[in-house]
């Protein structure tokens, strides 16, 4: 609706629905697990025995928060990348961010001892180097507009990192290190504890806040350069700030969770199908969808079977299926 | 009659000389008459025929220490081994104790190409695995015979001991080795006769590396050595209870462990970690502490010396016996693990007690804590 | 925003890409009067778009000066410049299906602080702009579904929402059919009547002939003619500009160009 009153109503509606959905997902996930019985945990467990309480509060709670934050971050970052690069098929992998993280993790596993802290630091570090490298390289390329240059640079950096990671896998000892690397590459949240949350939150929350606050400006930044220049004097700086926030948050969560693909690509599309392409809606709705999506996938990962299913596999599988369904049902187009 | 006296004295001297000579020195005990042709069916199902006994054996591929240790169970092993692929320095810490001239063997860098290997003029390649590897295929195309040893579980191990016996022309020794293992397996089977599944304690054997923190650990595959060791030692492996996603190490989160709440827990820490610290941290962890096994002091470290006792290399028998003494102490109180260690390293590798005392014993935590 | 005295003056403006690049615009001098329609004419490659970008401030001139109501362009704060000058580019391709209204609303950006969202006032202005142009009916359609003519009108609605005094349009009628061309030209007249300073580039002299008050003719980066339309539209001027023989006739009180 294009009247202001209509908009205000829609905003309120969205906010209420969004909060409701998030609460239901989070609460529901809290009672899913494998202790004391597979699948559903009765609420009495909270005061029944100490072990159950410990499991719920020290194991499950940080993990579902981490899953939700992971989903929010990857989706918001995906939406931002897609609009800034004016390409609906873009995600973090394009700028060398996830490949950088993968390379850093492999390096830590193969050459630096493979301790958890080392892996995380290296992953975050190289993710940033990936972005920096792409930006630096983009300045040197003399071909086309800045979008093309940055994408080309990103592809080059990603390729370098992928080759590096491949080489490290080759060097890795198949008995000990290779399974570690493979599992890291598939992604998983099974090691998350409260200290991890304490490390992620100070980075992710401010970055997501920035992306949320600047969501309307994102529309401007998605325009052609002439147009965005005519409307805002700081288009370049605004783009930089949003990219930086998106990458920083992504690096932080990826360093803890490993590589989780598809979320940044698919969720913004799903959001667009429901609320249209105005970034003012797409960004927050992507965050909400993404958070719930990864949360539900992680619930499956830790509850469905005795052993953990790598999260990356589930997000790809479920995400692709959902996407196909959504693509084929053209009628779903609820405009805000 | 002087003649029989002289024969007797001569025989006595001969006999004494024989006792003086250590049968493990290179100038050794003759092997049985060479069987021609030498034929084995290896782990890939392929039949390999050799026209003469191999003199230069090279071990490459994954986990080279396993076939190498198997070779060293035979006296000819150390002579015939010409080179090996160097994967991880740890491989070199044990065999020099057994073979003083181990450093003379050619060490290939990790992931050698077929040319590197061929340059050492091998006449037999041994690779651990049950499917052909690219390196193995390239080498067989060069005309060098390649034998794959699966070494995935105790049964296969014993079969392959016999195969290596054929390859080295020493089936007598192979029989001895199999006998050594079989005696012990029979001992365990006898001790466990008549027990039902319910009587078996619920056991969890778990691998630990830092990646999951204390929130998640790994359990071995269904048909892996650790699983078989547990079963044959009298335990009921909890991780077999339900569906298994893969055959490799499977990540299990703590919730599931708490749900199982096993009677006994055995920890296999990653070899890069300090084992004592790992056990301490598990005992101190507020969640693991609450488990039944921790409270009754049944959370132990799976023993190892330079190499672990939980992989399909020769030491698995020690792992199995040790597990039995911990899972069913009342039925296996007659096993003296310390003595078993001496018997194993002495009988299988020809190591003297002093050497074992110096290099092996300090590393083994027979108590598990 | 009031629009008094927004005359643009060019004084010996030169521009080249890069420090050693060729000089694309050479010593341009001329006047673009306020509250009028000025057409930039010239063959392809004569520097029309470049000049528009210079006026926008997207490119920085190397020599000379551009003054708007007596003040150098560089002296304006970026914020004021965005409120002052709006651009309708040649084409706007967006791979996302923003609705017309959402797109037009973007024109309010120069009037909003960095983190502010459009308010009721902004909505009203955007709706007014759509109504002025006469396309309020399509406000909820998505951009990719529009025809070329509709898209052009939507882009104009956007700069109208921007409430800028000076409107720059880059080849606004080039890809349009007859009906749409006329409509766009009529809209431009409407804008002028609202008091805006309209500058548009075109390679078709008849578009200029139809509505322009003032004309700047460029060739090879130089201004050949800068004059009111009646003075400027002579056979000689046009032939020199375009390098082909043309004839100018008078038709219904307006000049018309006939290529041979």
Alpha-carbon radius of gyration of chain C: 18
For residue A284, what are the CA distances in angstroms to A11, A117, A316, B100, B202?
Answer: 11, 31, 22, 70, 49
C236 — contact with chain A (CB < 8 Å)? no
> What does the pLDDT read at residue A73?
96
- How would you classify residue A115: left for phi > 0, otherwise alpha for psi between -120 and 50, otherwise beta? beta
Kindly report the nearest CA distance between residue C78 and chain A, in angstroms. Answer: 6
Those chains having 3 or more beta-carbon pairs within 8 angstroms of chain A are B, C
What is the pTM (predicted TM-score) of this model?
Answer: 0.84
Cα–Cα distance between A290 and A302 in angstroms, integer? Answer: 18
Cβ count near B247 (within 10 Å) = 11
Using alpha carbons, select from A7, A66, A49, A89 the residue that is nearest to residue A188: A66
Helix (H, G, I), strand (E, B) or coil at C115: coil
Is B62's CB within 8 Å of A51's CB?
no
Weakest-pLDDT range from A83-92, A248-257, B169-178, C24-33: A83-92
B131 — contact with chain A (CB < 8 Å)? no
User: Contacts of residue C93 in chain A, CB cutoff 8 Å?
Assistant: 224
User: Contacts of residue A219 in chain C, CB cutoff 8 Å?
Assistant: 98, 102, 106
Using alpha carbons, select from A128, A135, A137 the residue that is nearest to residue A98: A128
Tens digits of per-residue pLDDT, B178-234?
Answer: 999 999 999 999 999 989 989 999 999 999 887 667 888 889 888 888 999 999 999
What is the band of A150 on the pLDDT scale with cuts at 50, 70, 90?
Answer: confident
| Bond before A287 cis per omega within 30 degrees | no
A151 — contact with chain C (CB < 8 Å)? no
Helix (H, G, I), strand (E, B) or coil at C202: strand
* Residue B308 DSSP code: B
> What does the pLDDT read at residue A210?
97
User: Contacts of residue B251 in chain A, CB cutoff 8 Å?
Assistant: 183, 188, 190, 307-308
Is B245's CB within 8 Å of A309's CB?
yes
What is the band of B24 on the pLDDT scale with cuts at 50, 70, 90?
Answer: very low
Alpha-carbon radius of gyration of chain B: 23
Mean pLDDT to the nearest integer, C23-43: 89
- Does residue A147 have a pLDDT over 80? no
Which residues are CB-neighbours of C167 under 8 A, at least 6 positions away? C85, C86, C87, C88, C156, C159, C191, C196, C197, C198, C199
What's the token pair of residue B363? Answer: 């590393």
Enclosing H/E stretch for B82: strand B81-85
C20 — contact with chain A (CB < 8 Å)? no
Tens digits of per-residue pLDDT, B244-275?
Answer: 645 678 889 899 999 999 999 999 988 778 88
B250 — contact with chain A (CB < 8 Å)? yes
- Does residue A318 have a pLDDT over 70? yes
The answer to whether the CB of B48 falls within 8 A of the CB of B147 is yes
What is the band of A72 on the pLDDT scale with cuts at 50, 70, 90?
Answer: very high
User: Contacts of residue A167 in chain B, CB cutoff 8 Å?
Assistant: none
> What does the pLDDT read at residue C254?
83
* Residue C5 DSSP code: S
Is B253's CB within 8 Å of A193's CB?
no
Q: For residue A231, give the nearest of C94, C109, C115 by CB distance.
A: C109
């Amino acid at each position: 609706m294009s009247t202001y009153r209509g908009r205000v109503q829609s905003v309120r509606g969205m906010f209420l629905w969004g909060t409701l959905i998030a609460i239901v997902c989070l609460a529901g996930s809290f009672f899913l697990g494998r202790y004391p019985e597979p699948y559903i945990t009765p609420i009495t467990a909270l005061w029944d025995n100490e072990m159950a309480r410990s499991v719920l509060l020290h194991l499950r709670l940080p993990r579902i928060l981490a899953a939700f934050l992971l989903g929010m971050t990857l989706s918001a970052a995906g939406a931002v990348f897609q609009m800034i690069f004016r390409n609906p098929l873009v995600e973090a992998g394009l700028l060398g961010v996830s490949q950088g993280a993968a390379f850093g993790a492999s390096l830590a596993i193969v050459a630096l001892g493979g301790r958890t802290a080392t892996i995380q630091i290296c992953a975050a570090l190289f993710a940033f180097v990936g972005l920096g490298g792409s930006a630096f390289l983009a300045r040197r390329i003399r071909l086309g507009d800045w979008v093309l240059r940055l994408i080309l640079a990103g592809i080059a950096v990603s390729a370098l990192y992928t080759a590096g990671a491949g080489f490290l896998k080759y060097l890795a000892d198949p008995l000990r290190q290779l399974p570690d690397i493979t599992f890291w590459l598939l992604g998983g949240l099974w090691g998350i504890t409260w200290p991890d949350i304490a490390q992620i939150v100070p980075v992710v929350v401010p970055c997501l806040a920035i992306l949320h606050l600047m969501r309307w400006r994102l529309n401007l930044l998605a325009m052609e350069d002439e147009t965005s220049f005519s409307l805002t004097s700081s288009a370049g700086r605004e783009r930089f700030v949003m990219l930086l926030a998106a990458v920083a948050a992504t690096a932080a969560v990826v360093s803890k969770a490993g590589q989780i693909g598809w979320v940044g690509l698919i969720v913004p599309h799903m959001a667009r199908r429901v609320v249209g392409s105005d970034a003012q809606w797409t960004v927050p709705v992507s965050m909400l969808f993404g958070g719930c999506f990864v949360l539900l996938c992680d619930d499956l990962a830790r509850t469905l079977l005795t052993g953990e299913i790598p999260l990356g596999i589930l997000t790809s599988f479920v995400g692709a299926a959902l996407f196909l369904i959504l693509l084929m049902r053209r009628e779903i187009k609820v405009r805000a | 009659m002087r003649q029989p006296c002289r024969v007797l004295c001569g025989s006595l001297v001969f006999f004494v000389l024989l006792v003086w000579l250590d049968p493990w020195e290179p100038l050794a005990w003759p092997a049985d008459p060479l069987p021609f042709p030498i034929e084995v069916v290896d782990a890939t199902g392929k039949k390999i025929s050799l026209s003469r006994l191999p003199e230069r054996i090279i071990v490459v591929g994954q986990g080279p220490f396993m076939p190498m240790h198997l070779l060293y169970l035979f006296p000819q092993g150390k002579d015939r081994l010409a080179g090996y692929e160097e994967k991880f320095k740890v491989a070199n810490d044990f065999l020099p104790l057994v073979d003083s001239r181990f450093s003379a063997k050619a060490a290939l860098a990790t992931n050698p190409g077929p040319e590197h290997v061929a340059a050492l003029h091998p006449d037999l390649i041994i690779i651990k695995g049950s499917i052909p590897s690219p390196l193995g295929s390239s080498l067989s195309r060069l005309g060098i015979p390649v034998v794959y040893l699966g070494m995935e579980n105790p049964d296969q191990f014993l079969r392959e001991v016999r195969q290596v016996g054929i390859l080295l022309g020493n089936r007598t020794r192979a029989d001895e080795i199999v006998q050594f293992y079989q005696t012990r397996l029979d001992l365990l089977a006898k001790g466990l006769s008549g027990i039902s599944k319910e009587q078996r304690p619920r056991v969890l054997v778990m691998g630990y590396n830092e990646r999951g923190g204390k929130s998640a650990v790994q359990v071995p595959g269904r048909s892996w050595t650790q699983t078989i060791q547990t079963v044959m030692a009298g335990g009921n492996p909890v991780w077999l209870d339900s569906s298994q996603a893969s055959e490799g190490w499977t990540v299990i989160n703590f919730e599931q462990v708490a749900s199982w709440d096993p009677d006994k827990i055995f920890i296999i820490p990653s070899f890069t970690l300090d084992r004592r610290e790992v056990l301490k941290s598990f005992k101190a962890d507020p969640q693991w502490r609450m488990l039944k096994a921790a409270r009754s002091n049944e959370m132990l470290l799976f023993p190892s010396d330079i190499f672990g006792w939980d992989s399909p290399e020769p030491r698995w028998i020690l792992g199995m016996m040790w597990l039995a003494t911990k899972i069913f102490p009342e039925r296996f109180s007659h096993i003296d693990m310390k003595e078993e260690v001496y018997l194993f390293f002495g009988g299988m590798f020809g190591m003297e007690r002093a050497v074992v005392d110096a290099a092996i014993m300090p590393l083994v935590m027979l108590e598990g804590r | 925003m009031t629009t008094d005295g927004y005359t643009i003056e060019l004084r010996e403006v030169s521009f080249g890409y890069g420090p050693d690049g060729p000089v694309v615009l050479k010593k341009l001098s001329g006047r673009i009067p306020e509250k009028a329609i000025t057409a930039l004419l010239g063959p392809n490659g004569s520097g029309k778009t470049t000049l528009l970008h210079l006026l926008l401030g997207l490119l920085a001139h190397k020599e000379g000066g551009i003054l708007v109501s007596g003040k150098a362009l560089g002296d304006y704060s970026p914020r004021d410049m965005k409120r002052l000058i709006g651009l309708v580019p040649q084409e706007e391709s967006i791979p996302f299906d923003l609705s017309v209204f959402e797109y037009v609303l973007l024109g309010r950006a120069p009037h909003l602080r960095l983190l502010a969202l459009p308010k009721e006032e902004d909505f009203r202005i955007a709706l007014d702009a759509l109504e002025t142009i006469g396309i309020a009916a399509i406000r909820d359609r998505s951009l990719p579904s529009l025809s070329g003519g509709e898209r052009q009108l939507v882009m104009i609605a956007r700069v109208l929402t921007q409430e800028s005094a000076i409107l720059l349009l880059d080849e606004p009628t080039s890809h349009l059919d007859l009906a749409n061309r006329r409509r766009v030209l009529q809209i431009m007249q409407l804008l002028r009547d609202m008091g805006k300073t309209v500058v548009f580039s075109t390679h078709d002299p008849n578009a200029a002939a139809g509505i322009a008050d003032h004309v700047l003719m460029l060739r090879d980066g130089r201004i050949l003619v800068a004059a009111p339309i009646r003075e400027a539209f002579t056979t000689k001027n046009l032939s020199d500009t375009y390098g082909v023989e043309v004839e100018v006739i008078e038709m219904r009180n307006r000049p018309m160009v006939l290529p041979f």
